[in-house]
């Protein structure tokens, strides 16, 4: 790996027009004031950084569930998956990962499987770190059928600043662990509903790396 690659990451195509807008505004700011112009430069660099899309290396062992997002684990609690996914009305362990405006916002598939449902639900824009955000905020939910026939749900939730959820997948798509499936613009949260009987291997406050940090395992130590 070259030293340059450590600091300069590729940008996701979703960010091109936003960086272009920031750059155009920066040119106008320089016409008004050098100070304002350099502030614009800083904001343009931040916008590029926000839409960065670094390569990730998922674990190769089967049955591992990885984090779908960069950020910090904000909640771990039992909850019923979004009703629009058509899953049983049974509480499952929900792990919430909160993304600040400084995190990479490209979302990745937690585990290999087939997308059996994608459901968008309009809503409000509360702070994504709050518990009520899961039920009240705008969201986009995915139901993933794993190799063993169990279902896992992952939910993109818009936040106080985020106003646009983007999803690249559709029902019938087969995804590999760590594949990109969407992003959320400018601060938000991802919820993962683990299959029944699967315990999380992370704690509240733990920093997560999308596609790499292990959330849980479908296998107990005796089954490996």
Indicate the SS3 state at residue 15: helix
CA-based nearest residue to 136, from 117, 153, 157? 157
Q: How far apart (Å, rounded) are the C-alpha atoms in residues 195 and 24?
A: 47
Beta-carbon contacts of residue 71 (< 8 Å; ≥ 6 apart): 97, 98, 99, 100, 103, 189, 190, 207, 208
What's the rounded Cα separation, in Å, for the pair 37 and 69?
33
Torsion 180-182-188-189 (CA) sign: negative
DSSP secondary-structure letter at 56? -
Q: How many CB atoms lie within 10 A of CB 80?
A: 15
* Active-site annotation, residues: 188
CA distance 148 to 181: 21
How many CB atoms within 10 Å of residue 45?
13
């Amino acid at each position: 790996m070259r030293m340059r690659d450590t600091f300069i990451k590729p940008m996701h195509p979703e960010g091109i027009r936003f960086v272009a807008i920031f750059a155009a505004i920066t040119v106008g700011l320089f016409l008004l004031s050098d100070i304002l112009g350099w502030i614009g430069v800083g904001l343009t660099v931040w916008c590029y950084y926000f839409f960065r899309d670094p390569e990730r290396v998922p674990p190769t062992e089967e049955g591992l569930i990885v984090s779908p997002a960069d950020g910090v684990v904000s909640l771990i609690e039992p909850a019923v998956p979004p009703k629009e996914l058509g899953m049983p009305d049974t509480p499952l362990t929900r792990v919430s990962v909160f993304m600040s405006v400084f995190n990479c916002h490209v979302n990745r598939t937690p585990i290999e499987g087939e997308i059996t449902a994608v459901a968008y639900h309009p809503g409000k824009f509360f702070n994504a770190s709050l518990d009520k955000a899961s039920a009240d905020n705008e969201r986009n939910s995915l139901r993933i059928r794993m190799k063993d026939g169990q279902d896992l749900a992952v939910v993109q939730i818009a936040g106080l600043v985020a106003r646009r959820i983007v999803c690249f997948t559709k029902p019938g798509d087969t995804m590999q662990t760590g594949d990109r499936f969407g992003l959320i613009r400018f601060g938000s949260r991802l919820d993962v509903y683990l299959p029944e009987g699967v315990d999380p291997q992370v704690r509240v406050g733990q920093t997560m790396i999308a596609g790499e940090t292990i959330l849980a395992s479908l296998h107990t130590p005796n089954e490996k």
